[in-house]
Amino acid sequence: MRRNGRVVLRIGFILVVPAMIAISLAPSGRSRSPYLSALSDLAAGSPVYASPCHHMRCSPSATCERIKESNTNCASQGGRCINPAC
């Protein structure tokens, strides 16, 4: 019985210590405001991580061409040209 107690304590220690380290190293939350969503902390923190917009679109010859005002990212899939939005 004593051995089972030690195993339980070891498993608890292995689970608690990394959780405490993660909590202590986590960035502090934003200022609390009634205008923030409860889920706003779960969103990606910065637009830096968003995929960039290359402003390219499909040309009539099914190749990508750069157009500043296109707001699309041209891509070739299976021999076809597609224009997903940025």
81 in a structural domain: yes
22 in a structural domain: no
Instruction: Quote the CA–CA distance of 12 and 22 in Å, as a whole number.
Output: 16
Write the pLDDT tens digit of every residue in 14-73. Answer: 998 888 888 887 766 656 666 666 666 565 555 555 667 777 888 777 778 887 777 888
Instruction: Report residue 25 CA to chain centroid gap.
Output: 19
Of 59, 79, 76, 57, nearest to 68 by C-alpha is 57
Instruction: Residue 63: give the domain boundaries.
Output: 52-86
What does the pLDDT read at residue 74? 81
| Cβ-based neighbour number of residue 73 at 10 Å | 18
82 and 62 Cβ atoms separated by less than 8 Å: no
Overall number of domains in the chain: 1
69 in a structural domain: yes
